[in-house]
Structure 1
C-alpha cells in the first residue's frame, strides 16, 4: 500500500465545530467571530444542524469533539440543548469520548453548565487570559477576575471532569509580577489543564493598528521569555506536565482533541470558518455569515476551499507538529504513514540539529530539548522545504 492509499484509509475520529458569536470583539482577536442577535444565533444553530445532515456518514465513532469560537456558551441554554441534542442524534461517540466546549467566564451560567453535562460534555475551556482587571479591560475582555473564579468553581461543582484555563503573556503593560499572580491564581482553582500563549499582533486587529501607531507598551522579547519560563517553572513545580509548547496538564488531563492536530491525524470540521483535514485534503468552510446560511438553505455543504496536500507537505507537517510535543515526533508512526524513516525523507536535517544540540533522540522519537522550546519556530524552519519523499 503506497502513501496515498494509506491516507485514504485514515478515518477521522475527531470533529471541530465553530460557534462564531461573541459579546464583543477582543482587541487582539482575528478569529471568525460576529456580534449577532439572538434570532441570528437561532438561525445559525438550525443551519449547523442542517449542515451535519449533509456530512458523509462516519466510518468510526468520534473519539473527540470540540466546540470552539467565538464563544460557544454565548448561546442560550435552550439553543445549547437543541444543538447538543441534534449532535447526539447524528453522531456516534466512543464511550470514553472527550467533548470540549470553549467558554468565556461572563457567558456561562449554572443552567448552561447543566445542559452541557446532560449531553455528555466533559471538558470545558475558559478564556481567562489574565487575573488583573486592568489588563482584562486593556485587551478588550468582557469579564473581570471574579467571573473567572466563579465560572471554574461552578464547573467543578457540576461535575466537569476536565477544566482548562487559558492565560496570555506579553500583553501591553503586563509585568512579570502580573504573570506570577495569574499563575498563582490558577493554581488555587480546580483545573487540570492550562494553556499559556504569547500575545501575537495579528493584521487587521485593533492591536495591530495601535502597535503601528506606537500606542502599545509591549514587554519585549526578553521579558516575554522570562514570563514563559516563570509560567513553566511554576506549573511544573505544582505537578503539571509541560506536554506541548503552550500547554500544561495534570497527568490524564491532556487535551485529546488538540493531540489529534499535533499528531497530524485527520479531523472533520463544521460551521462558519472551520478548517478540516481528511483523506489527504485540507478544507475550509465559508467565512461569511450570510453566505454560509444561504448555501445550507440551497442544500449545499458550505465548503469554500479544498486543497490536496502533497505527500512532502504532509511529511513536513508530521514532523513540525510533532516537535511541538514533549513526546516529539514518533519514528515508528512516521514510517507507518510514509513508508520511510525521517532521516531518509529529510536527509541531513535531523543529523545537523542533533549535532547542534537543538534536537534530541528519546527511544524512537525526535524531540526539541526543553531549553529550546522558546525558539522552536527557528528549529521548525530547518525542516521546511527539505522533504524528499521519492
Structure 2
C-alpha cells in the first residue's frame, strides 16, 4: 500500500517565508499542467497496476487557486487514474479561496474528505507582515462554508516565531484556533529558508525575530493548550483528536512508500527515491513527449534507510518500534546506535521503554540537533 502526493505549484500571491516549489499563477499554462499531471499519473500507475493507494494529499503552492472546473477535472482524474475508491483525500486550501462554497462543493462532490487550511495567525497585522492576503475574519467564513458543505475533518496551520510576534500574541492565535473546535491543528516554528524574502531580509539585518527562549515558550504553550483541549500531540508539529491524525503524513513518518506527482514532487517506491523537474516548462516538456518528468533517481542504501527510519519515527510521539525496526532491517536498534541511545537518555532527550524509542518534550524541541546524531558514519555491512 502507498500514498500519493500531488503538487499544484500555483499561487495567487507569494508569501514571504515560503520556499516550496511555486509560481505566481497569472499567465501560467494551468490547463496544460492539469492535463500533463493526469498523464503522469496514468504513465506511472501503468507500471504499478496492482499498487493500492491508501491516501491522497494535494498540496502546493495553493491547490485551491484552480478554478472550479479545473478542480473538478483534477479530482475526477485522480479517482479514475489512481483507482482511489476510499481513504483519506486531503486538499490544502487558503481561507480566501473558500469565501464562497463553489470550490468547496466541487471538492466535496468528488470525494475530498479532509481540508488543511493555511491560517498561520489570527493577527491581521502579522498576516500582512508575512505576506498573507487573507485576514482573520476570512478564516471564520471559510470554516463555516466548509462545514455547511459537509466537511468535518478540518485542520488549520499556525506559525510561531514570526517577526513582531510576542508569546502573548501567539497564545491569542492558539486560543482563537482552538475556539473553532477543529479535530486537527498543525503549528510550526518559522524556518528561514534560502530563496525567500525573509531570508534575504535576515541577511540584510532587517528581520527581528523572537529569541530562542521565547520560541521554546511558544512551543510549550502550544503543547500544553492543545492537551487541555483534548488534542493529542502525535508528531512534533501536529495535534489531533483521536482518530483524526493525518494518515497521509503518518505514511511519511513511518518511512512508508508514496508516489509523487507534479512539478518538483518527490516519490519513494521500493528503494527508489525520485524527484521531478521543478520549473513548469521543464516538467511539461517530457510529458508532452510521453516521457516521465523525473530529473533524478536515487537508490536508497541500507544506511540511509535506517537513518530515515530514526529521523522520521522520532518525529512522532509513538517513536520508533524496536520490533518494526528489527523486522525491516534484521538488526536491533542498539546494534547500530547502542552508545548514542544511552547518551541521549542521559541528556534527557530520549526515552526507551516498552519496545519504543521516543523523544522527550525537550528532545522534540531540539529535534534537528538530535536527528543529526543518528547519521551513520560509513557502511554497516
For the pair 1:98 / 2:88, whether they are aligned, the reply is yes
Q: Which moved more, 1:344-353 or 1:357-366?
A: 344-353
What's the offset of the Cα at 1:386? 4.9
1:274 corresponds to = 265
1:42 aligned to which of 10, 31, 39: 31
1:8 corresponds to = none
For the pair 1:132 / 2:123, whether they are aligned, the reply is yes
2:376 aligned to which of 373, 376, 385: 385
2:182 corresponds to = 191
1:341 corresponds to = 332
Name the CA distance, whole Å, in 2 between partners of 1:216 and 1:346: 40
1:3 corresponds to = none
Name the CA distance, whole Å, in 1 between partners of 2:181 and 2:35: 35
Native 8 Å contact 2:12 2:26 kept in 1? no
TM-score by length of 2: 0.96
- RMSD over equivalenced CA pairs, Å: 1.4
Name the CA distance, whole Å, in 1 between partners of 2:266 and 2:194: 20
Which structure ranks higher in relative contact order (CA pairs < 8 Å, sequence separation ≥ 6)?
1
Name the CA distance, whole Å, in 2 between partners of 1:130 and 1:316: 34
Name the CA distance, whole Å, in 2 between partners of 1:166 and 1:293: 31
2:14 corresponds to = 25
Deviation string, structure 1 residues 173-217 (Cα, Å, up to 9, x no partner): 011111111011111114111110011111121111111111112
Name the CA distance, whole Å, in 1 between partners of 2:143 and 2:169: 20
Q: SS at 1:346's partner residue? A: helix
What's the offset of the Cα at 1:149? 1.4
For the pair 1:154 / 2:154, whether they are aligned, the reply is no
Deviation string, structure 1 residues 57-102 (Cα, Å, up to 9, x no partner): 342321100000000011011111111111111122353x101000
Name the CA distance, whole Å, in 1 between partners of 2:336 and 2:25: 48
1:178 aligned to which of 146, 169, 179: 169
Q: Which moved more, 1:284-293 or 1:352-361?
A: 352-361
Map 1:41-80; keep pairs closer than 5 Å.
41-55=30-44, 56-80=47-71
Name the CA distance, whole Å, in 1 between partners of 2:258 and 2:248: 9
TM-score by length of 1: 0.94
1:6 corresponds to = none
1:107 corresponds to = 97
Deviation string, structure 1 residues 32-56 (Cα, Å, up to 9, x no partner): 1011237621111111111112112
2:247 corresponds to = 256
Where in structure 1 are there 5+ consecutive unaligned residues?
1-11
Deviation string, structure 1 residues 290-345 (Cα, Å, up to 9, x no partner): 11111111111101111111101100100111011100001111111101111112
Native 8 Å contact 2:185 2:240 kept in 1? yes
1:353 aligned to which of 317, 327, 344: 344
Name the CA distance, whole Å, in 2 between partners of 1:208 and 1:150: 32
Q: Which moved more, 1:127-136 or 1:50-59?
A: 50-59
